[in-house]
Amino acid sequence: MSSVCVKICGLSTEETLDATLEAGADLVGFVHFPKSPRHLPLERGRELAERARGRAQRVVLLVDPKDALLSAAVEALDPDLIQLHGRETPQRVAAIRAETGRPVMKALGIASAGDLRALPAYAAVADRLLLDAKAPPGADLPGGNGLTFDWDLLKGAALPAGTMLSGGLDAGNVAMALARTGLTAVDVSSGVEIRPGEKDVAKIAEFVAAARRRA
Ligand SMILES: O=C(O)c1ccccc1NCC(=O)[C@H](O)[C@H](O)COP(=O)(O)O
The CATH number given to whatever domain includes residue 68 is: 3.20.20.70
Maximum pairwise Cα distance, the chain: 45
Q: What share of the chain is helix, strand, coil (3-state, %, to 5)?
A: 40, 20, 40
Whole-number Å distance, alpha carbon 19 to ligand 1 midpoint, is 19
Tens digit of pLDDT at every position of the chain (215 positions): 458 999 999 999 999 999 999 999 999 999 999 999 999 999 999 999 999 999 999 999 999 999 999 999 999 999 999 999 999 999 999 999 999 999 999 999 999 999 999 999 999 999 999 999 999 999 999 999 999 999 999 999 999 999 999 999 999 999 999 999 999 999 999 999 999 999 999 999 999 999 998 54
Domain count, the chain: 1
Q: Which amino acid is located at 200 in the chain?
A: D
Please give the Cα distance from 2 to 212 (Å, whole number).
10
Report the 10 Å Cβ neighbour count for 140.
11
**5 a catalytic residue:** no
Query: Among the options 132, 152, 187, 200, which is catalytic?
Result: 132
| Structural domain for 205, as ranges | 5-212
**9 a catalytic residue:** yes
For ligand 1, is residue 61 a contact (CB within 6 Å)? yes
Tell me: ipTM over 0.95: yes
With beta carbons less than 8 A apart as the criterion, state whether 28 and 8 touch: yes
